[in-house]
Amino acid sequence: MNSIEELYTLELEVNGSSTSLGPRDADLSLSDSIHSIYPRVIMSISDRSGYMLDSRFATAGVPFKFTLGYNGQDITLPFIVNTFQTPEQEYYQYLNGKIEIELIHEFFSKFVSEYKAYPDVPSKILSDILRNEKFSKKLIESTARIQELPYYNPGYSFKDFVEKILLPNSRSTENSFDPFYCFIDANNSFHYETYGSMLKRKSSKTLYYKSGRKNMTELQKILEFRPFSLRLDSINSKVNYNYFYLDENGSLELEEKRLSIIDNKLSPYSIFGGSKEVQTIFNDKISDSKLIEQSYVSVNNEKKRSMLIDRVAVTTLLDVSSCAGKIVELETDYEQENMSSSYSGKYLIESSTHIWDSKTVKGYTQMILSRQKTEFPIGSKITGELIR
Q: Where are the domains of the chain?
A: 2-110, 116-199, 205-230+308-386, 232-307
**What is the Cβ-side half-sphere exposure of residue 384, based on CA atoms within 13 angstroms?**
3
| Res 1: pLDDT | 42
Instruction: Round to whole Å and give the CA distance between 365 and 356.
Output: 9
Q: Would you say the CATH fold of 205-230+308-386 matches that of 116-199?
A: no
User: What's the pLDDT at 262?
Assistant: 74
Cβ proximity of 105 and 98 under 8 Å: no
Q: Please state, in angstroms and as integers, the Cα–Cα distance from residue 235 to each residue in 261, 278, 297, following that order.
A: 10, 11, 19
The residues, any chain, with a CB within 8 Å of residue 171's CB and separated by 6 or more, are 143, 144, 146, 293, 296, 297, 300
Looking at residue 270, what is its pLDDT?
Answer: 57
The CATH superfamily holding the domain 205-230+308-386 is Bacteriophage T4, Gp27, baseplate hub, domain 3 (2.40.30.150)
In 3-state terms, what secondary structure has residue 55?
Answer: helix
Residue of 127, 368, 31, 342 whose CA lies nearest to 224: 368
pTM: 0.88
In angstroms, rounded to a whole number, what is the distance separating the alpha carbons of residues 169 and 295?
Answer: 8
* Cβ atoms < 10 Å from Cβ of 355: 18
Helix ranges (DSSP H) in 132-286: 158-161, 195-199, 232-235
- CATH number of this structure's domain 2-110, picked from the four choices 2.40.40.20, 1.10.275.10, 2.40.50.140, 2.40.10.10: 2.40.10.10
CA-to-CA distance for 153 and 35, rounded, in angstroms? 21
- pLDDT number for residue 202: 94
Which residues, listed in sequence order, are joined to residue 63 by a DSSP beta bridge?
Answer: 80
Whether the CB-CB separation of 21 and 10 falls below 8 Å is answered with yes
Rg (Cα) of the chain, in Å, rounded? 24
* 175: helix, strand or coil: coil
- Coil, helix or strand for 198? helix
Q: Rounded CA gap, 345 and 343, in Å?
A: 7
* Local mean pLDDT, 10-residue blocks, the chain (388 residues): 60 79 82 96 89 88 86 86 90 88 95 92 97 95 92 95 95 91 97 95 93 78 92 76 70 64 72 62 63 76 83 94 96 82 92 92 94 76 54
| CATH number for the segment(s) 116-199 | 3.55.50
pLDDT of residue 247: 67
Half-sphere exposure of 332 (CA within 13 A, CB side): 22
Identify the three-state secondary structure at position 226.
strand
Strand partners, 190: 138, 184
CA 26 – CA 52 distance, rounded (Å)? 13
Task: Report the alpha-carbon distance of residue 145 to residue 290 in Å, rounded.
Answer: 10
